[in-house]
Each structure stands twice: as C-alpha cells, then as structure tokens.
C-alpha cells in the first residue's frame, strides 16, 4: 500500500497571511494543465492562480456566464478562499455598462509599443514611454504629444538629455507641468531601481536628478507620483518591512515577477526638503503581493492603484480607494475594483485619471491596436470617478508692465490658516496651473522675491462641480511701488461696525503682508485706513486712525520692525466709489498699504 502526502498552505484571507509557493504557475498552458494544478494543490494560492487562468479565456471573450461557472464549479475546493471567490463572482456579475475603449490614434500609437501614458493635469500634453518605434533613440524612450486644435499632434521623442541609448521610463508629471518624474538606468542609483526627476528650465529640461532617501533605497523603487498640491510623493517599493514577507522583483511570485511591492508616501517638510520617513499606506491598500502605480487624483482623496492581492480578474487589476482622513495616510476605504469592462485577466496598471475625473488613460494589448501595445482611454462610470470635484485655475503671472514672471504659486486654506499647496510657473512664459479641491476657502498668490503679489481669494466651500477658471495674477515690483507711491488694497481685513479691533479672520491676509516685508526688510510701509460716510467726519477720521494703528500693532506683534511701518487714517476723505449705495460704501471701507521712499 502506498501513501501520498500532499502539503498545502491555507490562506484564510488575513491581510498578512503567508504564501508558501509549491509550484510555478505561468500563463500560456493548456486548460487541462490548470485543471490538474487545481486538483492537486487546491486550496493553495498556486491553485487559485491556476483557477484564474481557467476563467481567463471566457473573460477575454466577455462570456461572463462561463467565467462565473468556472469559479462556482471549483469554489468548494478552496476552503478559506470562498469570500474572495464570491467577490470575484460579484465583479463578473455586475451589470455591463457597455464601456467603450478608445484608441488614442496613429499620432500617438505606432507599430511598436506605447505604454505608461501621463496626461498633463491641464490636458494639453501627453507623455508616454515608447519601445520598438522607428523614432526610438534607445531601448525605451519618453515621447510627448500636444493637444492642438482639438487633436493630438504627432508624438516626438522628448528633446534634451533625458532620453539616452539605454532605457527611460516616465512615471508622472507634476500638476504644474514643470517636473517630469522618471525611472531609468541613470548614474549613481542607490539600489536595483530608482526614481529620478527633471525640472523644466528656461533652456529646456534639466539634467536628470535622483530623489533622495527614503524615496529611493538600496531596493527596487519605482512608480513615483507627485501629488497635485506639491506636498507629497507616492511610490512603490519592494523594500523589507512592508505588508507580508520580502519578495524581490524579478523572482517568480504569485503568478508574476514583480515581487511583494507596497505603496509608500514621503511628505515634504516646511523648508521644501523631503521627510526622512517613508510611510507605508497600510494593509487596507497593501497586501502580501504586488501593489504598483499609485495615482492620487487632484481632489487629494481618491487613490487609483494596481494590485494582484485584492479580489480581481487576473494578474493585477486597478482599484479605487478613498482617503478617509486628511491628516492620515493609512486610513483608506476598502478598495473597489474598477470592473470587468476595464480590468482584464492580464496585468492592468498605470492608469492616469483626467483632472475632471471623467477619463482614464492606460495602455493595453487589443485587436484594435496599431501595434503590440497601444494607449487608450475610457469614459469612467460615475461610481469609480473621484469622490470630490476640483476647480482648476490657470493663467500667467505678470508684472506691472505685462511681462511674464517666474514665480512660486502658493495657496492657503483661509479657515485653517495654513499653506496647503505649492506650484511653479513655466520659467519662460510665466504660465501657471493649480487644481484646488472643493470644500475649502482659499487664498492664492504668486511668491516672487522683490515683488508684491496681489492676493486672490476663492470660496469653494459650497462648490460641487468641476470648473476651469482662467485668470492672470499680478505682481508689482518693489521699485515700482516705491517710485509710484501706489496704494494696494489689502483684501479680507475685517472689523466690527464702528470698531477698530482687528477680527481674527484678518490675520491670514496680514500674514501675507508680513512675509513680503520679511523678504524685503529694507522697505518702509505705510498702512492707510478709510471709512464710508456714515457718521461724522471726526468720528470716521478717528476710527480710521485706530484701525490703521491696529493693523500696525498686529504686524509688529508677529515680528515686523516698528521702524519699518507707520499708520495713517483718512476717514471718509478719499472715497473710491459713491457712498449712496451699500456696494459703494463697502468699497470705501478699506485698508491699504503703500511704500514710502
């Protein structure tokens, strides 16, 4: 009598359960081969991978009934995995929405391979990685196309030193369009794979630079994505210490060769440097398997990423999860699969979502393609669109003569009294682009040394729809302010009627004036206050004197040298509008500053 002992490992869906590999299960084998694996190794993860390969042909054909039958016929063999199988069956049984796949066309795609599309947040440019194209410089190169007159022009290799005779790969682009985030075989890499960047300058893109630790490490690090507020960078890494055991990229693991990669975030410090700590996004996002290509929508809440650890249709699917707490990077909603008409049994990854939240751009292999792999887009169903809307603002930063100025754009939450975003203008044209999540009251301005920026305010607390605003920002040079004596109104200065005590809501606007004076310590500032004509001349003159003095007192209290600031009230003597309407009187009640020589 012969006794055969078959050892299997049960995975009970605990987030960090161990996966003990018994056999390598690759694609391209016969259905009988996969059936034998299921019979011999169920309920192991190896057998589950084989089960997915059995269902794959039906999923490719959109024969949902037969795909479900494969899972139902074998469900009893997978003790401990029934919940995962039920979720997959639910995904397949969801009502089809007839989502159409749109090829980006022959000006983008070629007979070669195009993948990793990166759409600029303003929708005007698309970057991608190309291989086996006639116009390739090396192995993999980065290409760009621009949207002109309602069409994408012919894509060309990116000009400059970024493309080499080796392999270059684009991860993402900053929301302002000025920083390309790359992965490539560049010099001085810290580990087996690193994240790099190149910044737009007046003479083109800079030499490629390496992100510091802990964005990079001695391990494989990739897929870096700069958040739209410029305050954080997300990336994937195989580094030990994540969810599950260390498994290196390149070794066969769980049906693929990506290893156990997790998603991390590194935050930017107030001084502009990167934090020394990488935060793992936690086990609601990460699994003991592969998570890659994070994309955080400009709403700051909705994360799209690729995973083969969450219930899906094949090797890796794309998921959506929502950040539940603005102050935490480890609290997320349960990831939602983007569905059977978007995900496939193959590796689905690298999805980029348009700023309005309605389109997803990605690459895939499809019969309607021009070559081996093409770039496509789909219109996203509402349920997998970002949870919040954004309002975009674009234009130019111009000086008093209408000339473009290179500047840093900053925006603040007025109610929280804190900076919540930073961007750069185009170094040549002065153009800027920012995306503001709805639900907040913002102040935004251009920060340029030697200039005063007119502060803009935008109340989005009640906004509930995507909107695009085109407006230029004005900056005035210190020289012009001194020579002209021009008075600049300080917006959002508040007093109670007939009172001179500053209300707390005024501090944010005055903090901006403080920063201007701190950056230009040689200037002498005169604060002027004005009233409407309600009340006597004497009362209004005295009230305006006290209001101007109250502003000076606050600025001195936060660090301004008293010798650099004086005050004067003008009462009702200098109106800028008629006082016969409430609107006119409101314009006349104002606080201004001017520079004295």
C-alpha distances in Å from residue 219, one per residue of 4, 192, 267, 293, 305 = 41, 5, 20, 17, 20
Q: What is the pLDDT of residues 428-471, one digit of tens each?
A: 999 999 999 999 999 999 999 999 999 999 999 999 999 999 99
101 pLDDT above the threshold of 50: yes
- From 384, 405, 422, the end of a domain falls on 384
Contact by Cβ (8 Å): 412, 419: yes
Residue pair 191/220 in contact (Cβ under 8 Å)? The answer is yes
Query: Are residues 505 and 560 both part of a single domain?
Result: yes
Q: What is the pLDDT of residue 2?
A: 33
Judgement on whether residues 34 and 157 belong to the same structural domain of the protein: no
Whether residue 421 is found in the same domain as residue 513? no
Same domain as 279, residue 420: no
Task: Give me the mean pLDDT over the 257-276 stretch.
Answer: 97
Give the pLDDT of residue 23. 87
- The number of folded domains in the chain is 4
Q: Averaged over 123-136, what is the pLDDT?
A: 97
pLDDT at 185: 72
212: containing domain: 102-384
Conformation bin of residue 430: beta by default, left when phi > 0, alpha when psi is -120 to 50 = left
The CATH number linked to 371 is 2.120.10.30
Q: How confident is the model at residue 366, as a pLDDT? A: 85
Among 365, 384, 403, identify where a domain stops. 384
Burial track 196-223 (b if 16+ CB lie within 10 A, e otherwise):
bbbebeeeebbebebbeebbbbebbbbb
Question: Is the pLDDT reported for residue 5 higher than 90?
Answer: no
Q: In the predicted model, what is the mean pLDDT of the chain?
A: 94
Q: Cα–Cα distance between 513 and 455 in angstroms, integer?
A: 10
The pLDDT of residue 190:
86
- Whether 159 and 282 map to the same domain: the answer is yes
Using the 8-state DSSP alphabet, how is residue 270 labeled? T
Same domain, 241 and 313: yes
Res 19: pLDDT: 67
DSSP 22-91: -S---SS--HHHHHHHHHHHTTSHHHHHHHHHHHHHHHHTT-HHHHHHHHHHHGGG-TT-HHHHHHHHHH
Supply the pLDDT for residue 149: 96
Give the C-alpha separation, 236 to 271, whole Å.
25
- Taking the C-alpha atoms of residue 502 and residue 577, their distance in angstroms, rounded to an integer, is 24
Same domain, 394 and 413: yes
The CATH number covering residue 562 comes to 3.30.1330.60
My answer on whether 584 and 450 are in the same domain is no
* Residue 18 pLDDT level (bands cut at 50, 70, 90): low
Q: Give the CATH number of the domain where residue 462 resides.
A: 2.60.130.10
pTM score above 0.85: yes
Give the 3-state secondary structure percentages of the chain, helix then strand then coil, rounded to 5.
Answer: 20, 30, 50
Same domain, 197 and 280: yes
Domain C-terminal end among 93, 116, 144 = 93
User: What pLDDT, in 10s, does the model give residues 81-98?
Assistant: 999 999 999 999 999 999
Regarding whether 429 and 356 lie in a shared domain, the answer is no
In the chain, count H helices and then E strands. Answer: 8, 35
Band of residue 402 on the pLDDT scale cut at 50, 70, 90: very high
Cα gap 181→211, rounded to integer Å:
9
Q: Are residues 543 and 437 in the same domain?
A: no
Of 19, 341, 355, 44, the residue nearest 177 (C-alpha):
355
303 and 182 in a single domain? The answer is yes
């Amino acid at each position: 009598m012969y006794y055969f002992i078959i050892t299997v490992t049960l995975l009970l869906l605990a987030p960090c359960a161990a996966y003990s590999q018994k056999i390598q299960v690759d694609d391209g084998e016969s259905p009988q081969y996969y059936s034998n694996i299921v019979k011999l190794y169920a309920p192991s993860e190896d057998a589950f991978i084989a089960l997915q390969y059995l269902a794959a042909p039906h999923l490719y054909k959109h024969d949902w009934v037969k795909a479900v039958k494969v899972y139902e016929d074998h469900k009893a063999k997978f003790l401990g995995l029934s919940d995962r199988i039920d979720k997959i069956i639910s995904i397949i049984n969801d009502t089809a929405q007839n989502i159409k796949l749109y090829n980006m066309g022959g000006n983008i795609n070629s007979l070669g391979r195009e993948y990793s599309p990166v759409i600029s947040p303003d929708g005007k440019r698309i970057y991608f990685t190309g291989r086996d194209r006639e116009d390739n410089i090396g192995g993999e190169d980065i290409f760009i196309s621009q949207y002109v007159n309602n069409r994408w022009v012919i894509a060309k290799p990116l000009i400059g030193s970024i493309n080499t005779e080796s392999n270059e790969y684009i991860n993402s682009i900053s929301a302002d369009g000025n920083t390309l985030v790359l992965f490539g075989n560049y010099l001085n890499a810290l580990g087996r794979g690193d994240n790099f960047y190149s910044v737009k300058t007046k003479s083109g893109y800079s030499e490629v630079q390496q992100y510091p630790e802990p964005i990079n490490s001695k391990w494989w690090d990739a897929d870096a994505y700069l958040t739209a507020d410029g305050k954080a960078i997300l990336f994937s890494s195989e580094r030990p210490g994540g969810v599950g055991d260390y498994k290196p990229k390149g070794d066969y693991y769980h049906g693929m060769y990506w290893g156990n990669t997790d998603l991390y975030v590194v935050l930017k410090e107030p001084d502009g440097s990167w934090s020394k700590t990488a935060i793992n996004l936690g086990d609601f996002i990460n699994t003991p398997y592969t998570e890659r290509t994070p994309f955080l929508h400009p709403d700051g809440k909705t994360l799209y990423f690729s995973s083969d650890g969450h219930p899906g249709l094949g090797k890796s699917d794309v998921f959506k999860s929502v950040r539940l707490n603005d102050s935490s990077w480890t609290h997320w909603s349960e990831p939602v699969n983007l569905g059977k008409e978007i995900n496939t049994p193959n590796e689905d990854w690298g999805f980029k979502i348009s700023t309005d939240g309605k389109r997803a751009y990605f690459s895939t292999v499809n019969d309607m393609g021009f070559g081996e792999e093409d770039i496509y887009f789909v219109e996203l169903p509402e349920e997998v669109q970002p949870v919040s809307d954004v309002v975009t603002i674009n234009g130019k930063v111009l000086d008093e003569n209408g000339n473009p100025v290179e500047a840093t754009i900053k925006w603040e939450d007025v109610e929280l009294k804190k900076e919540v975003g930073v961007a750069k203008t185009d170094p040549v044209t002065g153009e800027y682009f920012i995306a503001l999540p709805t639900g907040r009251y913002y102040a935004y301005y251009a920060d340029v040394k030697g200039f005063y920026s007119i502060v803009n305010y935008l109340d989005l607390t009640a906004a509930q729809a995507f909107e695009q605003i085109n407006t230029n920002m004005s900056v005035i040079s210190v020289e012009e302010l001194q020579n002209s004596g021009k008075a600049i109104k300080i917006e959002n200065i508040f007093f109670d009627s007939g009172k001179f005590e500053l209300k707390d809501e005024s501090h944010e606007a005055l903090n901006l004036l403080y920063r201007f004076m701190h950056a230009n310590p040689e200037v002498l500032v005169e604060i002027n206050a004005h009233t409407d004509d309600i009340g006597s001349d004497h009362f209004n003159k005295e009230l305006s004197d006290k209001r101007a003095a109250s502003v000076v007192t606050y600025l001195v209290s936060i660090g301004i040298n008293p010798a650099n600031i004086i005050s004067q009230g003008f009462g009702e003597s200098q109106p800028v509008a008629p006082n016969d309407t409430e609107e006119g009187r409101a314009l006349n009640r104002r606080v201004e500053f001017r520079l004295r020589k």
